[in-house]
Structure 1
Amino acid sequence: MTSNSRDGELPFARTPSASVAGRTLAESTHEWRSRGTALRADAPNVLVIMLDDVGFAHADTVGGQIHTPTLSRIADTGLRYNAFHTTAICSATRASLLTGRNHHRVESGTITEFASDFDGYTGEIPRSAATIPEVLKHHGYRTAAFGKWHNTPALQTSAAGPFDRWPTGCGFDHFYGFIAAETSQYQPSLYRNTTPIEPPKDSTYHLSEDLAAQATGWLREQHALAPEKPFFMYWAPGAVHGPHQVFAEWSDKYKGRFDGGWDVYREQAFERQKAMGWIPADSQLTPRPDTLAAWESLPPEERRYQARLMEVYAGFLEHADVQAGKVVDELERLGLRDNTLIFYVLSDNGASAEGAGGTINEILSISGVPVPFAQQMKILDEQYGGLDALGGPLIANMYHAGWAWAGESPFQGTKLVAGYFGGTRVPMAVSWPKGIAADPAVRGQFHHVNDIAPTIYELIGIVPPTSVHGVAQDPIDGLSLAYSFADAAAPTRKAQQYFEIFGSRGIYADGWMASVFGPRLPWLSATAAAYANWNPDEDTWSLYRLGSDYSQASDLAAQHPEKLAELQALFDAEARANNVYPIGAGLGPLLNPAARIGTAQTEWHFTADVTRLPEFCAPNLRARGNTVTVELTVPAAGEGVLYALGGMAGGLTLYMDAGHLYFEYNCLTVMRTRLCSAEPIGPGARRIELQTVMAGPAPGAPASFVMRVDGVQVARGSTPFTAPLCFTASETFDVGIDLGSPVSLAYAERAPFRFNGRIADVHVVCTP
């Protein structure tokens, strides 16, 4: 290994000049100083591929039914790992991966939108935990990130910044993607570095394809301009996080494949997993929870709907994997593949059960708004043309939690369950043809996402710095898994690892695992009432001996109380050392609406050049009393959006069409309140007001709306409920246009539906 200069400090000390300066040029000698680092000449490139919300038993590479040729390609040219773990939620996993530290230690104990002011939960990766790209950049690497970035505090995602925790502030030279939990695959909210950009309004556009094209273009450019420099690339598309969106031809490949239902899928996947040797032959298949519906309990007409949702998901996953393959293809074309170290982490957590009973809008279940199947089908048929709309640009659909559970064979739990492997254990393949001999034997060593950083440092030959830009560095929590490369049967060197998300928690130590499921069943609607009386001290812990119980099927707590007590004490020590307490802090925003991320500002003046203001940074027009006053000049036959917040999955919009004034409150797809002026609005200077009055302070309370022109009421209406948490994850507030996906179906074909008049001022006043 090489060591950093100045006892582990980065950046390196500036190399002294190699020239000799005399009094005149004639008395001087010139020689360019060396600007190299201690990096060896054959240092490998590094590519980290990580998809989103994929189940342990979904990919055919590991026994599932969904074709993943790129994952198979990486595994076949390298190594497979079947005991690799994440944190059970996206922001936390990504922070841990990029820093090599435990997620609470880097203040990422939950998603950024649920951040709080407890030290382990701020969502702000501290400067004492330099990221992989920052460390590698000082050693001469080029660095780039493509896709999802979910590690910027929600209130720092607007054009006001600050930008020090955006990707380019965290060590990446280049970023192309979105900054949120999710985005539309057809109309994403994109950034190039810190500049918002708009994707083409093209029916052939898909975000995953765009990300592959951007990544391959960057590779070609860098190879042409600086071929001597190695690179680090982080390719993490939004797929297959909800909404599940992909072109119909990909979903249609799977027509009829899931008609047997999730119970059958899980059993068949389990048998294939064993037959392939992906899981131990003595593994046990854990049963379906009583709170999750059996496939046979569904009426026949609902089964077709649920099967189609899974077909869309399957097409989405195969499509994303194929796009990852394009990046690998480009490495081969450029002659870089043999010396590129690839980590293909199939998912940042387990499969997501957040679609609950299957939904045309995932935010419904996340917000605790149940919508019966019959009502969903009525909306699909009447507004979108039926099942064929699923997976398309105007629907934010997500499959039934049963498919997530089936895709976690043989484990208990799904995404958001940190104490059980259904939430944390994901397939991983590692390939480096020049440095790692391919071996089909499955590696079963217990490892964690925080182990990727130290593995990269060891293989490159870098000692992790003790100081970066004068900031002393926290210790690396991860442990290199390089020892397992040459020996599939090497004993696990990782002695222990804790887990915690939303009160679900666990502790691994020397082959034992103690687990608590936690208060939240991810497949049931998330409501504050479900957690109001939860006391973590009353939780029941389970105990498992992993060497003989791969799937956590046999609880040994009663037989070994002393071992359980030992592990509970170890969890407490780890929790204190990593700022995990208070347990369940990630649930705080659900329990206390006042603790939710949001701006404290109550009054704004916007002009027509204000666009792409993220919902969490924008005025809360969704669920707070407010008055919006628009000063504008209306042309003859005025049309276009005056302002809009949100998108097709939920939002509100004030717009003109054929001279008439309209307001629409799209409450998460299932309820649309639409106001319209009886008469067209005449041309000239006008003052338009839209007033929202909430019926009460409770989340989701009804609201009434009044629309006025020049002080005269022209329409009024109401909605029986409002969106309690958010409209969307990445859609924005825009003046004079509706960017991203359209809020209203009325102008969907004409989006972004720019206003054809002049807007002088949009004055927003929210009630305290």
Structure 2
Amino acid sequence: MPVNEYKPGSAFSGVIGRTTDVSSPAWPEPPGAVPGSPNVLTIVLDDTGYGQLGCYGSPMQTPRLDGLAAGGLLYNNMHTTALCSPSRSCIITGRNHHSNAMAAITELATGYPGYNGNIPFENGFLSEMLLEHGYNTYMLGKWHLMPSAQESPAGPYNRWPLGRGFERFYGFLGGDTNQWYPELVYDNHQVEPPASPEQGYHFTPDLTDKAKLFISDAKQVAPDKPFFLHFCPGATHAPHHVPREWADRYRGQFDDGWDAYREVTFANQKRLGVVPADAVLSRHDPDVPEWESLSPDARRLAARMMEVFAGFLSHTDHEIGRLLDFLQEIGELDNTLIMVVSDNGASAEGGVTGTTNEAQFFNNAPEPLEESLKAIDELGGPTTFNHYPWGWTWAGNTPFRRWKRETYRGGASDPFLVHWPAGIKARGEVRTQYAHLVDMVPTVLDILGIEPPDTIKGVTQSPLHGVSFAHTFDNPAAPSLHRTQYFEMLGHRAIDHDGWRAVCPWPGPSFTEAQQPFGTPISSEKLSELDATAWELYHIDEDFAETRDLSSEQRAKTIELISLWYVEAGKYGVLPVDGSALARMATERPQISKARTSYTFRPGTQSLPPSVAPRVLNRPHSVTADVEIPADGAEGVLMSQGSMAGGWSFYIKDGKLTYVHNYVSRALYTVSTTDPVPHGRHELRFEFEPTGEPDLAAGKGAPGRAELYIDHQLVAVAEFPVTTPVMFNPGGMTCGANPGQPVTPDYQSPFRFTGELHTVTIDLSGELITDADSEMRMHMARQ
């Protein structure tokens, strides 16, 4: 007999008598999708510019993504927020980023509703919506959608992926990760990668394998149950890590430089119909040096950095292809709605010259060209943390001007592909309708015939801000329903309305022209001046790449759009406008525990991200381990932080107690005992006493005296001429091991301590010295 079911929340449909023989059972109906509902796969690339996919005219090879465009639709008018976390919040909620409290990345959160970094629970996630309609929900890769102070094992966990409607998660919580040694979280706990780089490990194939596993796990029980897979690889965000053979495919292909790349890409874009035939290529950016002005060695290094990036992109495309092949194999590809997008334009965090190790950039310690050249053959490998120079950033956003973090089209216009053979008749066509990331959730719900929920987990839901573009799938002439969209990112503002675009750049059209750096604050008086004089106007319907500023001759239209920007700003919580970086970085934010000067750790516990780890830089501090050494000796890490890119480790090897400080991978400063640590229970202690002031601007942390003690007896001392000035990134702080990439080549990770380690205590004293400017650049680079 069929099971009698009733809708949860409705009246019981069975019969309740005095006993079961005169009663009839009924069951709450489990959630189930409408038969035949498509799977939903969103693929979110990171820092991939408009001109970097093959189907958007790039000479880089992305055959599997090109195949999605050929079998579906390519949109040439999709818009993002110009920054990572804000864009990702729009993709997953269908609401604007300030309404999501994601004005910027959460590391720059401030105490205003649009800026505090806590996405309101009334802004439900697509995962939460589809979960209630019978979908399995999976999140793979980059999250970065919660305050960084909540990334620790102390939680709270309600804003982790499993707290926001995803049933399974495998990836990383912050803004970036080492592709060879990722800082992995599986569901709600940290895990180590299943293999090493020497064994062939790379993060992107691991993500693909886990995506296939998650789907297979459910399909063996419920083959007809649809899934929502949010696939967010770390690519192509720095570090640009890829097996060498992928980079070597591009040997010599970028030797002509970034201007040549733009010309080739722009011509391809016109041929493919990705840009209008009458489009004009934007100007040479004043912040980008002319290719021919570089020395031969500088050109050789820059070209190799681009070869590595290109290999990274092609490798990612290959792994996406493996996922698509799997969907084809299980018969799900045709009825899977696939949307591919990037979160913002190409990234400029590599600086004018690029870097072989971003930790040097974060710490104001860029290496000279001759040092970079020594690592040219290692770029992309496990010993580097590399990022390309501004010239390739600018070229990657062809035909537009500028880049990520800025609301010109180079930062806010991105690739967008839609593929759904079972639901879309058109193949290989370009769609020109205006769209924004907030339109993705409404489109999915429209296709599935699902109304936005009134409540989720008892929380009344806010209205969606986007509109569906499903009506454009089979009608290239359909009107754009998204008519108005504001932009604001770190004081850089813009607004689109009915084919017109107004932009108010901050600190200016370029750093060279503004003569002010990124992160310059905006006063109320300055904002009034900007509103009166600095807005630019473009007729995008006739000027695709923002090349002709019409603000002087079309003053009425300019004023109209400025006024409309303020209307939208009031509607979505954009105010107060904040162009600062240092002040935002230095903002005191709510913490899950009070500040203290003593921290106690135990082995086996999870690593701590920098946001909650004790700050040991530029101040007197000690690290004390309570250990028991067996009669046959012991070795391993007592406490560590960071990686080969920079960090420190307190350990025993060959019986000797050792502390090493890795200064931005440029030098290893070590203090070590000459005699082995005796067996028995001991207090092992490292102390650092600064002997001078740090020179943060020059990339030099405080010099100091490094001392080792065993049971309060001084056993070794050394002078460190310099230490890390600002931060360790990547790598958490870990007790009893050095997971991931080792801080020093003196041992292989994880080098767990083999004796009995009871506790490690880090004690801090003295004033904490910080460099908010460098910290800001680090956080921005991790978006």
Task: Give TM-score, length-normalised by structure 1.
Answer: 0.92
Query: Which residue of the other structure, out of 148, 151, 156, is the alignment partner of 2:145?
Result: 151
Corresponding residue of 2:438: 450
Corresponding residue of 2:243: 247
How far apart in 1 are the matches of 2:732 and 2:706? Answer: 23
How far apart in 1 are the matches of 2:510 and 2:201? Answer: 32
Query: Which residue of the other structure, out of 733, 756, 759, is the alignment partner of 1:758?
Result: 756
Q: Say whether the 8 Å CA contact 1:688–1:707 is kept in structure 2.
A: no
Corresponding residue of 1:627: 622
Say if 1:589 and 1:683 are closer, same or farther in 2 by CA, change over 3 A: farther
Deviation at 1:366, TM superposition (A): 4.4
Aligned: 1:720 with 2:722? yes
How far apart in 2 are the matches of 1:18 and 1:703? Answer: 76
Matches within 5 A, 1:613-652: 613-635=608-630, 638-652=634-648
Letter in 2 for 1:512: W
How far apart in 2 are the matches of 1:313 and 1:239? Answer: 9
Q: Say whether the 8 Å CA contact 1:622–1:652 is kept in structure 2.
A: no
How far apart in 1 are the matches of 2:210 and 2:687? Answer: 43
Aligned: 1:427 with 2:415? yes
Query: Which residue of the other structure, out of 459, 464, 468, is the alignment partner of 1:476?
Result: 464
The 10-residue stretch of structure 1 (404-413 or 20-29) with the greater mean CA deviation from structure 2: 20-29
Deviation at 1:752, TM superposition (A): 1.1
Deviation at 1:589, TM superposition (A): 5.1
Matches within 5 A, 1:365-514: 365-377=361-373, 381=374, 386-417=375-406, 419-514=407-502
Q: Say whether the 8 Å CA contact 1:520–1:531 is kept in structure 2.
A: no
Deviation at 1:624, TM superposition (A): 4.5
Say if 1:667 and 1:597 are closer, same or farther in 2 by CA, change over 3 A: farther
How far apart in 2 are the matches of 1:653 and 1:520? Answer: 43
How far apart in 2 are the matches of 1:461 and 1:593? Answer: 44
Which secondary structure state, in structure 1, belongs to the residue aligned with residue 334 of structure 2? helix
The 10-residue stretch of structure 1 (335-344 or 629-638) with the greater mean CA deviation from structure 2: 629-638
Deviation at 1:33, TM superposition (A): 5.1
Say if 1:23 and 1:131 are closer, same or farther in 2 by CA, change over 3 A: same
The 10-residue stretch of structure 1 (646-655 or 457-466) with the greater mean CA deviation from structure 2: 646-655
Which secondary structure state, in structure 1, belongs to the residue aligned with residue 569 of structure 2? helix
The 10-residue stretch of structure 1 (253-262 or 579-588) with the greater mean CA deviation from structure 2: 579-588
How far apart in 2 are the matches of 1:479 and 1:51? Answer: 22
The 10-residue stretch of structure 1 (243-252 or 116-125) with the greater mean CA deviation from structure 2: 116-125
Q: Percent identity?
A: 37
Deviation at 1:488, TM superposition (A): 1.4
Aligned: 1:544 with 2:545? no
Corresponding residue of 1:354: 349
Which secondary structure state, in structure 2, belongs to the residue aligned with residue 745 of structure 1? coil
Matches within 5 A, 1:3-14: 13-14=8-9
Say if 1:223 and 1:313 are closer, same or farther in 2 by CA, change over 3 A: same
Corresponding residue of 2:744: 744
Aligned: 1:706 with 2:711? no
Deviation at 1:513, TM superposition (A): 0.8
How far apart in 1 are the matches of 2:271 and 2:675? Answer: 70
How far apart in 2 are the matches of 1:183 and 1:135? Answer: 29
Which secondary structure state, in structure 2, belongs to the residue aligned with residue 26 of structure 1? helix
Letter in 1 for 2:340: Y
How far apart in 2 are the matches of 1:597 and 1:25? Answer: 55
Q: Say whether the 8 Å CA contact 1:495–1:509 is kept in structure 2.
A: yes
Corresponding residue of 2:781: none
How far apart in 1 are the matches of 2:481 and 2:294? Answer: 47
- Encode CA deviations 1:207-254: one digit per residue, 9 max, x unaligned: 100110111111122112112321111001111111111111111111
Aligned: 1:267 with 2:267? no
Which secondary structure state, in structure 2, belongs to the residue aligned with residue 616 of structure 1? coil
Q: Say whether the 8 Å CA contact 1:76–1:438 is kept in structure 2.
A: no
Corresponding residue of 1:276: 272
Deviation at 1:684, TM superposition (A): 3.2
Which secondary structure state, in structure 1, belongs to the residue aligned with residue 302 of structure 2? helix
Matches within 5 A, 1:133-282: 133-202=127-196, 203=198, 204-282=200-278
Letter in 1 for 2:737: I
Say if 1:697 and 1:393 are closer, same or farther in 2 by CA, change over 3 A: closer
Corresponding residue of 1:320: 316
- Encode CA deviations 1:97-156: one digit per residue, 9 max, x unaligned: 100000110111111222232221222111110000101111111111111111121111
Which secondary structure state, in structure 2, belongs to the residue aligned with residue 338 of structure 1? coil
Query: Which residue of the other structure, out of 105, 119, 122, is the alignment partner of 1:128?
Result: 122
Point out where structure 2 has 5 or more consecutive residues left out of the alignment: 1-5, 768-783
Letter in 1 for 2:202: H
Q: Say whether the 8 Å CA contact 2:50–2:414 is kept in structure 1.
A: yes
Deviation at 1:472, TM superposition (A): 2.1
Q: Say whether the 8 Å CA contact 1:597–1:616 is kept in structure 2.
A: no
How far apart in 2 are the matches of 1:334 and 1:72? Answer: 22
Matches within 5 A, 1:605-684: 605-635=600-630, 638-684=634-680
Which secondary structure state, in structure 2, belongs to the residue aligned with residue 716 of structure 1? strand
Deviation at 1:196, TM superposition (A): 1.2
Corresponding residue of 2:45: 51
Deviation at 1:403, TM superposition (A): 0.9
Q: Say whether the 8 Å CA contact 1:306–1:358 is kept in structure 2.
A: yes
Deviation at 1:12, TM superposition (A): 7.5
Letter in 2 for 1:606: F
How far apart in 2 are the matches of 1:113 and 1:410? Answer: 31
How far apart in 1 are the matches of 2:563 and 2:361? Answer: 36
- Encode CA deviations 1:689-718: one digit per residue, 9 max, x unaligned: 323345558866424242221331512323
- Encode CA deviations 1:170-199: one digit per residue, 9 max, x unaligned: 110111111111111111111111021111
Letter in 2 for 1:388: D
Say if 1:17 and 1:228 are closer, same or farther in 2 by CA, change over 3 A: farther
Letter in 2 for 1:69: P
Matches within 5 A, 1:57-96: 57-96=51-90
What is the aligned length? 742
How far apart in 1 are the matches of 2:258 and 2:59? Answer: 12
Query: Which residue of the other structure, out of 360, 364, 371, is the alignment partner of 1:364?
Result: 360
How far apart in 2 are the matches of 1:428 and 1:530? Answer: 28
Corresponding residue of 1:580: 574
Q: Say whether the 8 Å CA contact 2:285–2:402 is kept in structure 1.
A: no
The 10-residue stretch of structure 1 (360-369 or 194-203) with the greater mean CA deviation from structure 2: 360-369
Query: Which residue of the other structure, out of 97, 105, 130, is the alignment partner of 1:103?
Result: 97
Letter in 1 for 2:116: T
How far apart in 1 are the matches of 2:587 and 2:11? Answer: 57
Corresponding residue of 1:7: none
Letter in 1 for 2:426: A
How far apart in 2 are the matches of 1:477 and 1:697? Answer: 48
Deviation at 1:593, TM superposition (A): 7.1
How far apart in 2 are the matches of 1:52 and 1:180? Answer: 13
Q: Say whether the 8 Å CA contact 1:641–1:754 is kept in structure 2.
A: yes
Q: Say whether the 8 Å CA contact 1:104–1:579 is kept in structure 2.
A: yes
Which secondary structure state, in structure 1, belongs to the residue aligned with residue 328 of structure 2? helix
Task: Give TM-score, length-normalised by structure 2.
Answer: 0.90
Q: Say whether the 8 Å CA contact 1:258–1:310 is kept in structure 2.
A: yes
The 10-residue stretch of structure 1 (151-160 or 684-693) with the greater mean CA deviation from structure 2: 684-693
Q: Say whether the 8 Å CA contact 2:603–2:757 is kept in structure 1.
A: yes
Aligned: 1:311 with 2:284? no
